[in-house]
Amino acid sequence: MHPEQMDRLYQLPGFYWGMEPNRLAYSLLETLPSLQGKTVVDLGCGEGRDAVYFAKNGLNVMAVDLSQTGLKKAKHWAETEGVSLTTVQADLLSYRMDTMVDAVYSIGVLHYLPPEIRPNTFGHYKAMTRSGGIHAFNVFVEKPYIPVPPDYAENEYFYRTGELLQYYWDWEIISFAEFVFDCNSSGIPHRHAVNVMLARKI
């Protein structure tokens, strides 16, 4: 989906992706050894459904997204919940952290990273993560038996099954799974295949 299209969707009333955290957000909190004082980066936070959940559970949250509209909604939502977010408007293709963190989290966004920059990008995420830190990612994968989504754009590059594991060969893989789910994000029913990974820096 093009950034301009996503920005228009975020301008609509309500929350396009809903307000319920993704189940991987719950898994991340269950995996971190402690929460208070820890910092998580939410890459592609959208309107904040997971970022706000993290903040409500005591984490320091850096919410990163290309959409200023989405970031404003996330920040306002956090304020209504009595918590705060540090919002960063950035393109993932060039975004670099400037401080060490305890967790990096992303749902359905990392396919915007072209394959040729993935090794260096994931290497940066790993280098900026403290020992014992967690990476929790959900990425779209290409399957010949699943049609291309109706809202697919030319700046999207789906992963191959297991590709994420190549970048984390030197970390502890806590869990890794693949599944297919039904989606209606474009108003047209379709399916996605995803790989979901939790990994720990040792």
Mean pLDDT of 146-163: 89
Give the model confidence (pLDDT) of 45-96 as tens digits. 998 999 999 999 999 999 999 999 999 999 999 999 999 999 999 999 999 9
Structural domains of the chain, ranges and CATH numbers in brackets: 3-200 (3.40.50.150)
Taking the model in full, what pTM does it have? 0.89
DSSP string, the chain: --HHHHHHHHTSSS-TT-SSPPHHHHHHHHHSS--TT-EEEEET-TTSHHHHHHHHTT-EEEEEES-HHHHHHHHHHHHHTT---EEEE--TTT---SS-EEEEEEES-GGGS-GGGHHHHHHHHHHTEEEEEEEEEEEEE--TTSPPPTT--TT--PBPTTHHHHHTTTSEEEEEEEEEEEE-TTSS-EEEEEEEEEEE--
- To the nearest whole number, what is the mean pLDDT of the chain? 91
What is the pLDDT at residue 33? 84
Mean pLDDT of 37-43: 97
pLDDT category at 2 given cuts 50, 70, 90 is low
Would you say residue 4 has pLDDT above 90?
no
Would you say residue 18 has pLDDT above 80?
no
What is the pLDDT at residue 7? 65
